[in-house]
Structure 1
Amino acid sequence: MGLVAEYQIDCDALPLTEVATTVPEATLTLDIQFNHGDRPPFLVTIQNGFQSTIETAFTDAFDVGAWTLVGQAGDTFRYQVRSALSFEEQLGDHINDLAGLEALATADAIIERIEVLPSGWRQTGWFANRDTFNEFSSFWQQNADFQLLRLTHDDESKPAGDGLTDRQREALRIAYKRGYFEIPRQASLEDIAAELEISASSVSERLRRAQTELIEETVAPTWPPLPQ
């Protein structure tokens, strides 16, 4: 029986973390297009960001060589991004076992989702068995800060909205009550931050993560493919 795991890798040397830092209000997810040499291009999907800000962040990022907008649907943008660096140039000073990283690409696993964070990557993957997952987790525990968020068997369903933490749910409720989601907005991030007694940037990240969880469980399964 296979496993489904969600985990976070805190390593700010991973590709596109600089872009995620520059546009913290946006949600960045990527697919790696392997079999393109040592600089595989990324297919990057971005939600909740301003197009001009996103594209300026790509242009300014040290690890982005070129980017192309390949599709748009509402506030969702999809880009092909070519790296300016090889994996060795990008990660060589931070990860000792680059050969082990390359070997993970051929393991019996499918990385279904990669979300880029300012601190690293948050991934969801399907693993053929416990040994395969242990190979992944052991590698990242040895080479970065690794945090397991969820681990289930692949036949265990996850109820809609189950991924929300209590803090995320609280932030959503307060934001809704204060009118943050109304048009025009009746409250700012600073207003919500004052009530929660945290920083505005923390509120932004908490709301973004909560919205991502809800989208994954409700909208994403029926979202039409973006134009190519």
Structure 2
Amino acid sequence: MALHAEYHLGCAALPLVDVAAAVPDAEIELSIGLGEGERPRFTAVVTAGPETTAAVEAEFERTPFVGESRLVVREGDTSRYTVAPGTSMAEQLGDHLDDLDDLRALYETPVQIEFIRATATGWVQAGRFADRAAFDELREFWQRNTTFRLRKLARVGDDAEGRPGSGVEADDGDGLTDAQREAIRTAHRLGYFEIPRTATLDDVAAELGISASSCSERLRRAQTHLVETHVGSEAPFAGQPP
């Protein structure tokens, strides 16, 4: 039975974790593409206001992982970059993993990584696995090397639309980023969710010290994730980050 999993990898050496730690207000999502040898190209999508985005770009210049970054498109508070690594896999992770060959083999197994989010403490990933054995292989590798925290694990149904099946495991975390959790708690405290509302989006944004558009994006992502996690959805998982 195919599985869908979301989990946290607590490794500070993973790409752009240092950037996320330096600029905690930014949301940084990654995807890995084809590259040369041990230096695959990355795409980084940064969601933040102008000042925070500028801080992320400054950190791109500082981190050894980024050899070259190029802005592809900017739409509102969302900026997409291509990133050419300045370090190889061995240089980036060699001192932190027991066997890089095991890591290479791991991602040749039947797994589809749906999203990667860089955080101040590691990566949050979500993916689909062909079966429990494929998931256990990944889990056991990361448990040998670093902190592995499971957020969600559910069976994926075999119907035509690939709807998620019943849950298998979950931890007691809510799966939100710290920024999302702060935003939704602040909005609740100020009365943004009251009927009628006693606070506006601008009020919440001002309390958080971010732009209204960034605040709206954080609240939308947090609400979407909480609904998908605790209520469920009739639509198949679309690969969008929480």
Alignment TM-score > 0.5, same fold: yes
| CA pair 208-61 structure 1, distance change in 2 beyond 3 A | farther
Look up the match of 1:172: 184
1:60 partnered with 2:62: yes
> CA contact under 8 A between 1:65 and 1:82: conserved in structure 2?
yes
1:18-77 CA deviation, whole Å, 9 max, x = no partner?
111121111111001135311111001111243321211111112111000011221111
Distance in 1 separating the partners of 2:115 and 2:5: 11
1:22 partnered with 2:41: no
Structure 1 range deviating more: 63-72 or 48-57: 48-57
* Number of equivalences: 202
Distance in 2 separating the partners of 1:59 and 1:25: 18
Look up the match of 1:42: 42
Q: Normalized per residue, which structure has more strand?
A: 2
Look up the match of 1:212: 221
| CA pair 40-170 structure 1, distance change in 2 beyond 3 A | closer
3-state DSSP class of the match of 1:24? coil
Aligned residues: CA RMSD = 3.3
Q: CA deviation at 1:104?
A: 1.6
Scaled by the length of structure 1, what TM-score is found? 0.76
Distance in 2 separating the partners of 1:170 and 1:42: 29
Q: CA deviation at 1:173?
A: 4.2
Unaligned runs of 5+ in 1: 191-206, 224-228
3-state DSSP class of the match of 1:131? helix
Distance in 1 separating the partners of 2:2 and 2:239: 25
Q: CA deviation at 1:88?
A: 0.2
Q: CA deviation at 1:129?
A: 0.2
Look up the match of 1:119: 121
1:96 corresponds, among 89, 95, 98, to 98
| CA pair 138-26 structure 1, distance change in 2 beyond 3 A | same
3-state DSSP class of the match of 1:96? coil
**1:74 maps to amino acid:** G
Look up the match of 2:202: 183
Unaligned runs of 5+ in 2: 158-163, 167-172, 193-198, 210-215
If asked which structure has higher relative contact order (CA below 8 Å, sep 6+), I would say 1
1:95-123 CA deviation, whole Å, 9 max, x = no partner?
11110111122110001010001111000
Look up the match of 2:196: none
Q: CA deviation at 1:213?
A: 3.9
Scaled by the length of structure 2, what TM-score is found? 0.72
